Structure 1
Amino acid sequence: MSEPGSSIPPDTKTRWPLASVFCIVTLAWFALSWPWLSGVLTIPWDAKAHFHPQLQFLASSWHKGLSPFWTPYVFSGSPQVADPQSLIFSPPFALIAALNPTPDFRWSDGAVLATLLAGALSFVVLFRDRDWHPAGAVVAALAFAFGAAAAWRIQHVGQVMSLGYFAITLVLIARALERGSLAYGFAAGIVAGFMVLGRDQVALIGVYVLAGLVIAAIAMARRPWQALRTSLPPLLAGTLGAVLVATVPILLTAFLAQESNRPEIDLIGAGKGSLHPAALLTGLFANLYGAAGPLENFWGAPSPAWEARFGSVDLFLARNMSQLYLGFLPMLLILTVGVVRGALLRREIIALSAAALIVLIYALGRYTPGFRLLFELPGVNFYRRPADALFILGALLALLGGYLTHLVMTDTAPRAKPWQRTVEAGLLLGALALALWLAWTVGRLSVAALPLVTALLCAMLAVGALVAARGLSLQGSAVAAAIVLGATLTIDLSVNNGPSESTALPSQTYDVLRADSRNETIALLKRETARTAGPDRRDRIELAGIDFHWPNASLVHELDNTLGYNPLRLGLYSKATGAEDHVALPDQRKFSALMPGYRSLLADMLGLRFIATGVPVERIDPSLKPGDLVQIARTKDAYVYENPRALPRVLLVRQAQKVDFDAILASGRWPEGFDPRTTVLLDHDLPPLPAGPAQAGSVRLLDYGTTQVALAVDAPQGGIVVLNDVWHHWWQVEINGKPAELLRANVLFRAVQVPPGRSTVTFVFRPFQGLFEDLGKRLRVGRDGGAG
């Protein structure tokens, strides 16, 4: 980031070939993205198992005129509006949802890839603003979009989106400071706001890096105080933009987090997600450890093969989380021209170099003493994987590699002294020797051989292309030089960072997540829930232990599911039912004291009627006895069972009993003789109901939407209507259009006391009003506490 107020007016750089470089980068992006854009392959794992169902729910809700702020289709009901991964506040996905009621995989994959393209083109603009060489811009752009975590962890959609916003924000804030522009400052704030809305570790690190670069730009200016004064207006405009975009969604998430399952992460727990130092070799040798698959080939830390030779490293990282490869060319220049010859210490780039070093220290986590200090920064203890910093580190290294390419192309790179050439050769040969030694020691030379040979070929290609491009550049053919390096990097990245088991699987693998899927199990569950539906009944299903991508299929097919896939859930629900993040494997279906198995009163109260499991259900719940569940089908994917004891969704009762909900949750014991069909358990007393001879009443579902449930009640003597949907205090209830008291019933559910006669009861989810009231309570508590 240049000194505030130091920008050269754009009209003095008219010869910089912006359109040509945009075309080169876009064509390379299209070539590298084609495996996904073609629809043959799709971004797998979390991109499908978690995020695509969220997009489908968002799209179908909007096109049906329903609110996406609450979903009944996972965890028996969940506040989507406060979930940072619901995509509601993600502009690309919200636009797709608005345009298409049934977006297929190419739409969701395209949004991710397009965000990376936007970030790549932003880097091109950054290079143009500094009048750095076009070939450097191409190198930086492609290394950013298809290098390191951006390539190897593209399935982590939220983090990839945050990375794209980071790149765009960096360019906008640089322009804001250099030109003293309120408009650019406000735009930077808007984009930064959307980055922060990712509410992930990439966004957090991005915010710290951007703040550090701004501080460095001001501190390094020739007149720091003047630079500060010049910078304040655009920075304030940016703050305003970020506040307008991010405040309400972040507050919603903050209040949800207080009552969720997500604890803070301690230093030891976070350290288990550290980048192992041996992973740094992947900066030169892509796929050295066999991360591209198959899984049994992977031998890097923390694989069984690695630990069998070197002992336990006590790390919790997937095989694709330790990949740093950006292309051989940028990494070669960083090591030689940048580090050994000292070009990264030049004034115009040293702030980026320092940022990259600090982010690397963060990524290495417990392997450096610096992580303990960085862990004290606000927000860091909410995240468990320092290795996530490879997203931002990749972006910074891409910029540095592009800058060093600029120096080479303009013949301004420092000349190597004899000792420096020796050190450079020693570093490269030492890295190769270390890689060979590790592979030999672990017994995986056969796996490492192909990546090492590929690296050597790419090294020769990169050096040859660099020499050719430099010659073209010095002859005045800057665009030709950019084409040569762009083509070279495209080949390199397609070979080394191209589709793998971590980043691309056949689209057919995820057929069950298509809105028009004819999957046998889903079709059966739809038929059965339609068959058993009644005026008072809306039965739930459970998908357990079938496959990784199944738990959120209910969001796509609008089936009320007791489970799902989400790292963020209501803590009350998790404690009551045992529901965890995921239930891909049979042993991931945990039960609780209050719901010790499928034969339990809570399962019946949830209306859990149909259970589809990937293995015989007794392997998931060994406590089941013959006859507890009835097997009704065996499909290609699952065993399907029926629970004949499932209760209706709505009940009208006349008796109420005050109890201690926390005690029931802890002990798992309901009061003696409790029958939810006649009695409701509450946490406080109610006014007595009118006395008189018992008269039959009824309650039925009038309308069941996402954020509104309407009931028709006929209660001759009054009573209490129990809706067996998850309770949350942002829900409100009305009787004949007038507000009434929302009751928390039977530990987990919603209820309301109704007067004698006929009435219409409407439960409405109002999160923004609920948030406003929560803030008011918090302010009153703070004021009263301060006064005391």
Structure 2
Amino acid sequence: MPDIKDTGDSTHRIAITAVILLCLAPLLVKAPLLLGLLNADPTLLYAGLQQGLQHGPFGGFPPYPTIDPNIAFTSHTLGHRAILDILHGQWPWWNYYEGVGTPLAGEMQSAALFPLTWLLYFENGQLYMHLALQIIAGVSTYVLLRRMGIAQVGSVAAALAFQFNGTFAWLANAVINPIAFLPLTLIGVEIALERVASGRRGGAFWITIGLVAALYAGFPEVAYLDGLLILAWTLVRMMTLPSALRVRFLLRVSLAGVAALLLSAPILVAFFDYLPLGFTGDHLGNGYASAHLPATALIATLIPYIFGGIFQDRALMGFWGAVGGYAGITLMMLALCGIFGQRYRGLRIMLALWVFATVSLSYGLPGASILASIIPGLKLAAFYRYLPPSWEFSLCVLAALALNDVARSALQKRLRYAYGVTLILICAGCVVAHGAGIRPHGRYVLWALIFAALVLVSLAIILFRRNASSSRVALAVSIVLACESAMYFAAPVMSNPSRGMVDLVGVRFLQTNLGMQRFVTLGPLAPNYGSYFGIASINHNDLPIPRLWTDFVARKLDANADPIGFTGSIRVDPAGPSSQESLLKNLPNYLGVGVRYVLAPYYAPLPEETKAIGIKQVAADTNMRIYELSNPRPYFDAPACSLEAATRGELRANCTQRTTLTRLELYMPGWRAFVNGQDTAIRQVDEIFQQIDVPAGTSKVQFVFRPPHIEWAFVAFAIGLLMMLVELGMSATSRRAAMRV
């Protein structure tokens, strides 16, 4: 972490104390999970394997501990699979256990090459990963603000608010991974600005590190949207330099960005090679240009639980399914106050405009939708859900500036005005929601309103107390900000289950008996937990997903399945054919893709008459019944050959004549086959599978997948690494020279 600008023993002691506080705060709030009082394993809630599930202190389910179940379906399962591949000495380019094979690293949400993903190897690894992200976010924000000369009280409070921000609280899938690196990148911008202003070299190293981490973190939409804020920040800060130095500063930042792109080439090439071949849902054409959250729910940005817990109010399912974060009362009040002030005037205006524009865009306020057409790529992302981290961060910086102003000047009057405006916003939000017929109710809402009232009363006592010193006012408001942020964050934590077990009897059966065949689920063992447990499922719940496969599913397997969620339970038309009916109707096609077992809910067994067509129950546990199909197509098949497969990518063929070998793995550019070490052409066969020629006699056959152009990506990585090391060396040399002076 870059060092803080201030010097002196006292300052360093305070800084160390602040950093320790920022490291401990997330651990304290999530202590029930760390101590095992509550269970943080997403498998328990989302894998369809639970037994004896009991809710936590805040009831359930709903409320849920997170909005997006992709905490389990993509982040947990696919990230774990990627780490297992790496530990087995192979690049995580391909996932054999989803569909009939899909790209793994190129899918991005697995964050396959992201260093913190290694934590997913361990039990409770996702909890540790999220804690690490919070700590990075908090410490980076603190360092950034201290470098900008913000007082300790404002820097610590704003850093705490950001590490407990609304997106961290409500989302837990790969969406949150890049968030921590927004302030880290801006540290690099500020260091580069200072170096250019003082005529020194280097300083942009942390720009490269922050951007690289954000790109590898597994959610390019958030990385891109945060990048727009970084760009705006950079341009505004550039204007504070003399005109003769602006080009130099911009060049230094740009070179750091180029180095970051080069260093990120392996994951970007894997992603962009895959993207044209993938089904991407609404991320095409006009995409999300006209999508937004309901403006009637704006009050939730100030009082997050005014609509109850996550998914608790069925009338607001659409809101909960699309929202991406919140602010809070104290943060909004401080940000309103922080807009005014002369120091960092341009930055304050930019941050205020950013918040106004992005919140307006997210909630569909009049005129805001034009931004979706103007800003490149914006309409292709669900911006209403992925913009909140950037406006939450902007609010935190404005809040820090406000606390800094109040601590150093008698500006309580300005803070009181901001308090009044915040009250007006709360009242207006309540009136709008009430006018739309929204009637929050229940104990959760009652406690939320009581807590909001306590926050407002506490702020009123602090702000309207006579003869209070400015430093004490700043400290008191900072404490309220930190407490409010932590309490809002704790609500989803307390919605985790208190007890429960994952029943793995069926999973163990499949691990023992499935071999290289596949299974299909009609509900239990949710996708993509086949990837997690190393058992091949033709089901998927992912985006992007190979279009070749989604088209095949629609034509040959289940026309009523959702292209994104071929889960066995999600139906495009609830009145249409069920997944069970589609299975029985298209049984030869399921056998044709290598399906050996069918998983049905224990309470919804297959009908007895299926025995007549070769379907028999062979195992069961508390959640599922496992049925075996007769004569599934083998994974490897070659006429006139005996085959001995070591893995899905390597086998030995002993053939009496020259013949063809068919492999039930998805055909996709990037696959190469080697027969006795010789490169052999792969043909597309049976619409989606692979076929090669094999000679008579004994042959060693290998199949290898690497994203096309990946060799060039590694060359780019080497160049980017060299650029970063040169920049680091220049920074170190310049710093030593400055210290000697």
Question: Which of 384, 394, 397 pairs up with 1:396?
Answer: 394
Distance in 1 between residues matched to 2:145 and 2:298, nearest whole Å: 27
Aligned to 2:697: 757
Aligned match for 2:189, one of 168, 173, 189: 173
Residue in structure 1 matched with residue 385 of structure 2 by the alignment: 387
The correspondence of residues 738-757 of structure 1 with structure 2, limited to 5 A, is: 738-757=678-697
Alignment of 1:293-692 (within 5 A): 293=310, 295-297=311-313, 299-300=315-316, 303=317, 316-319=318-321, 321=323, 323-326=325-328, 328-335=329-336, 337-338=337-338, 346-347=345-346, 349-364=348-363, 366-411=364-409, 413=411, 415-416=413-414, 421=417, 425=420, 428-429=423-424, 431-432=426-427, 434-435=429-430, 438-439=433-434, 441-446=437-442, 448-464=445-461, 474=471, 487-500=479-492, 504-506=495-497, 512=502, 519-529=504-514, 533=515, 538-546=516-524, 550-578=526-554, 580-584=563-567, 586-588=569-571, 597-598=583-584, 599-614=586-601, 627=613, 629-653=615-639
Q: Counterpart of 1:641 in 2: which secondary structure?
A: strand
Give, in whole Å, the separation in 2 of the partners of 1:454 and 1:332: 16
Shift of 1:192: 0.7
Q: Name the counterpart of 1:719.
A: 659
After TM superposition, give the deviation of residue 75 of structure 1 in Å.
Answer: 1.2
State the 1:264 CA deviation.
5.7
* Match of residue 265 from structure 1: 283
Q: Which residue of 1 aligns with 2:720?
A: none
2:378 & 2:332 partners in 1: Cα distance? Answer: 28
* 560 and 8 in structure 1: CA distance in 2 versus 1, 3 angstrom threshold: closer
Q: CA distance change for structure 1 residues 403 and 624 in 2, over 3 Å: closer, same or farther?
A: farther
Q: Does 1:287 align with 2:305?
A: yes
Distance in 1, Cα, partners of 2:8 & 2:687:
69
Q: Residues 103 and 202 from structure 1, CA distance in 2 versus in 1: closer, same or farther, beyond 3 angstroms?
A: same
Contact 1:541 1:561 (8 Å CA) reproduced: yes
Contact between 2:161 and 2:482, CA under 8 Å: does it hold in 1? no
Tell me how far apart the structure 2 counterparts of residues 354 and 246 of structure 1 sit (CA, whole Å).
Answer: 31
Q: Structure 2: how far apart are the matches of 1:428 and 1:400?
A: 19
Given residue 648 of structure 1, which amino acid in structure 2 is its aligned partner? P
* Structure 2 CA distance for aligned equivalents of residues 15 and 490 of structure 1: 22
Gaps of 5+ in 2: 43-68, 555-560, 716-741
Q: Which structure's relative contact order is higher, taking Cα pairs within 8 Å and 6+ residues apart?
A: 2
CA displacement 1:436-481 (0-9 Å, x = unmatched): 6745943435564432221011222345567899957648xx9xx7
Over 3 Å counting, the alpha-carbon distance change for 1:443 and 1:504 in structure 2 is: closer
CA distance in structure 2 between the partners assigned to 1:425 and 1:472 by the alignment: 21
CA change 1:167–1:278 in 2 (3 A) is farther
Cα deviation, residue 164, structure 1: 0.6
Per-residue Cα deviation, 1:545-579 (whole angstroms, up to 9, x for no partner) = 226xx212212221111113212211111111247
The 1:146/1:346 distance shift into structure 2, 3 A limit, reads same
Aligned-partner SS, 2:323: helix
Cα deviation digits, residues 704-759 of structure 1 (max 9, x gap): 15xxx222222222111111222122111111111111111211111111222222
- SS of 1:722's partner is strand
Q: Aligned partners of 1:756, 1:634: CA distance in 2, in Å?
A: 44
Q: Deviation of residue 259 (structure 1)?
A: 0.6
- TM-score by length of structure 1 reads 0.76
Equivalence for 1:231: 249
1:160–1:246 distance in 2 versus 1, CA, 3 Å: same
Contact (CA 8 Å) 1:436, 1:445: kept in 2 or not? no
Tell whether the 8 Å contact from 2:39 to 2:496 is kept in structure 1 after alignment: yes
Aligned to 1:702: 645
Distance 1:130 1:729, change over 3 A: closer
TM-score (norm 2): 0.81
Distance in 2 of aligned mates of 1:228 and 1:373: 27
Secondary structure in structure 2 of the residue aligned to 1:725: coil
Partner of residue 86, structure 2: 62
Partners of 1:360 and 1:719 in 2: CA distance: 62
Deviation, 1:355, is 2.5
Superposition deviation, residue 320 in structure 1 = 7.2
Q: Which structure is larger by alpha-carbon Rg, 1 or 2?
A: 1
* AA at the equivalent of 2:522: A
**Counterpart in the other structure of 1:217:** 237
How far did residue 262 of structure 1 move?
A: 1.1
Aligned to 1:111, what secondary structure does the other structure show?
Answer: helix
Which residue of the partner structure matches residue 706 of structure 2? 766
Matches within 5 A, 1:56-95: 56-94=80-118
Partner-residue secondary structure (3-state), 2:210 = helix
Counterpart Cα distance in 2 of 1:262 and 1:735 = 35
How far has the Cα of 1:66 moved from its partner? Answer: 3.7
Q: Distance in 1 between matches of 2:578 and 2:697?
A: 39
Which segments of 5 or more consecutive residues in structure 1 lack a partner in the other structure? 1-6, 304-315, 513-517, 654-696, 776-788
Alpha-carbon distance in structure 2 between the residues aligned to 1:133 and 1:470: 22
In the alignment, the residues of structure 2 paired with residue 470 and residue 612 of structure 1 have an alpha-carbon distance, to the nearest angstrom, of: 71
The 5-angstrom pairing of residues 98-177 of structure 1 reads: 102-105=121-124, 107-153=125-171, 155-156=172-173, 158-177=174-193
User: Is contact 1:344-1:350 (8 Å) kept?
Assistant: no
Change (3 A) 1:344 1:631: farther
The answer on whether the counterparts of 1:61 and 1:67 sit within 8 Å (CA) in structure 2 is: yes
Evaluate the alpha carbon distance shift between residue 151 and residue 267 of structure 1 in structure 2; reply closer, same or farther with a 3 A threshold: farther
- Secondary structure of the residue aligned to 2:376 is coil
- Give the whole-Å Cα distance in 1 for the aligned partners of 2:602 and 2:550: 23
Deviation of residue 258 (structure 1)?
Answer: 0.4
In structure 2, give the amino acid aligned to 1:252.
A
Alpha-carbon distance in 2 for matches of 1:121, 1:466: 28
Aligned Cα RMSD in Å? Answer: 3.7
Residue in 1 that maps onto 2:48? none
Distance 1:428 1:330 in 2: 13
* Cα distance between partner residues in 2 of 1:460 and 1:345: 31
- Residue identity in the other structure for 2:535: L
Given that 2:83 and 2:112 are in contact with CA atoms closer than 8 Å, whether structure 1 keeps it comes out as no
SS of equivalent to 1:378: coil
Aligned residue-pair number = 666
What whole-Å deviation, never above 9, does each CA across 1:204-223 have from its counterpart, x for those lacking one?
111111111111222x3263
Q: Kindly tell me: are residues 49 and 344 of structure 1, through their superposed partners in 2, closer, same or farther at Cα, counting changes over 3 Å?
A: farther
Alignment partner of 1:207 is 2:227: yes
Flag the 1:617–1:771 CA change in 2: closer, same or farther, 3 A: farther
**What code does the residue aligned with 2:213 have?**
F
- Judging changes above 3 Å, is the alpha-carbon distance between structure 1 residues 325 and 426 closer, same or farther for their aligned structure 2 residues? closer
Alpha-carbon displacement from aligned partner over 1:157-206 (angstroms, at most 9, x marks no partner): x2211111112111222212222366431331232122133343211111
Structure 1 residues 272, 298: closer, same or farther in 2, change over 3 A? farther
SS in structure 2 at match of 1:359 = helix
CA contact (8 A) 2:184 2:206 kept: no
Q: Does the CA contact (< 8 Å) of 2:669 and 2:708 recur in 1?
A: no
Provide the residue aligned with 2:204 in structure 1.
185
Cα distance in 1 for partners of 2:481, 2:240 equals 35
**2:27, 2:131 within 8 Å by CA — same for their partners in 1?**
no
> What's 1:683 paired with?
none
Task: Provide the secondary structure at the position in 2 that maps to 1:586.
Answer: coil
